[in-house]
């Protein structure tokens, strides 16, 4: 069994996967938490129905996601569980797998809570919105579609400039977005 939180969730590895953009990592971890919150129930149901193909597919999917997000123990447990499923061995039981999964989910939730970035407060003046957006871009923070929409309503840009700005932000090309705003 893993001996440290680094074995469960390697946060530095995960941040590096997103080129140092911790805000984006927190957003992605939020989606992971939302998508896999009831994963244990789903696997248990598949087991009751003896739907081993569904279990294999679900375990394989979370293995890939977990591996890419620095969830080392979960990745290794998925590999072991896949071997067990392939041979119908009982070395790695569902309970053992779910224990590691639960520990991982707790670690990821804790990391997300500790590292979530507070939204920038809404401001009224057009120049303040522009300044706030540039600051967010310079910090390489993830900007949701609704936040882009909120900012774009108060910016004095032509529709072409606005479309170019939105495209740059959606492509995570923040340097271009900053140039459009400052230029």
Of 115, 136, 170, the domain-final residue: 115
CATH number of the domain residue 38 falls in: 1.20.120
- Given a cut of 60, whether residue 4 has pLDDT beyond it is no
User: Which one, of 92, 85, 75, lies nearest residue 46 by Cα?
Assistant: 85
Over 80: is that where the pLDDT of 98 sits? yes
What band does 120 get if pLDDT is binned at 50, 70 and 90?
Answer: very low
Q: What confidence category does residue 117 fall into, taking pLDDT thresholds of 50, 70 and 90?
A: low
Per-residue pLDDT band at 6 (split at 50, 70, 90)? low
Domain that residue 16 falls in:
5-115
CA 167 vs. chain centroid, Å, equals 21
Residues 166 and 100 grouped into a single domain: no
Whole-number Å distance between alpha carbons of 97 and 78: 7
Q: Do 25 and 105 fall into the same domain?
A: yes
What's the CA dihedral at 170, 154, 25, 43 to 10 degrees? -80
Shared-domain flag, residues 103 and 18: yes
Residue pair 15/69 in contact by the 8 Å Cβ criterion = no
CA distance 61 to 20: 24
Predicted confidence at residue 5, as pLDDT, reads: 54
When divided into structural domains, the chain yields a total of 2
pLDDT tens for each residue of 123-164: 444 556 788 888 878 877 777 777 777 777 778 788 888 889
d(CA 137, CA 35): 28
* 98 and 134 inside one domain: no
18 shares its domain with 95: yes
27 and 50 inside one domain: yes
- Do 45 and 102 share a domain, yes or no? yes
Does residue 87 share a domain with residue 136?
A: no
Q: For the residues 33-42, what does the mean pLDDT come to?
A: 89
CB 116 within 8 A of CB 21: no
What single DSSP character describes residue 161? H
Residues 9 and 91 in one domain: yes
Question: What 3-state DSSP class applies to 90?
Answer: coil
Shared-domain flag, residues 43 and 92: yes
């Amino acid at each position: 069994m893993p001996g440290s939180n680094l074995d469960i969730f390697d946060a530095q590895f995960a941040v590096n996967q997103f080129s140092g953009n911790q805000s984006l990592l927190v957003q992605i971890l939020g989606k992971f938490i939302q998508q896999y919150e009831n994963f244990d129930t789903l696997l248990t149901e598949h087991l009751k129905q003896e739907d081993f193909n569904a279990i294999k597919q679900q375990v394989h999917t979370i293995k890939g996601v977990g591996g890419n997000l620095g969830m080392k123990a979960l990745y290794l447990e998925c590999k072991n569980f896949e071997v067990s499923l392939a041979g119908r061995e009982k070395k790695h039981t569902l309970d053992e797998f779910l224990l590691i999964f639960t520990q991982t989910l707790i670690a990821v939730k804790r990391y997300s809570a500790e590292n979530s970035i507070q939204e920038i407060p809404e401001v009224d003046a057009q120049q303040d919105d522009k300044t706030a957006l540039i600051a967010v871009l310079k910090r390489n923070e993830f900007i949701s579609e609704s936040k882009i929409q909120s900012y774009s309503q108060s910016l004095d840009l032509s529709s072409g400039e606005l479309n170019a700005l939105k495209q740059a932000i959606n492509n995570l090309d923040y340097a271009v977005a900053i140039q459009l705003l400052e230029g």
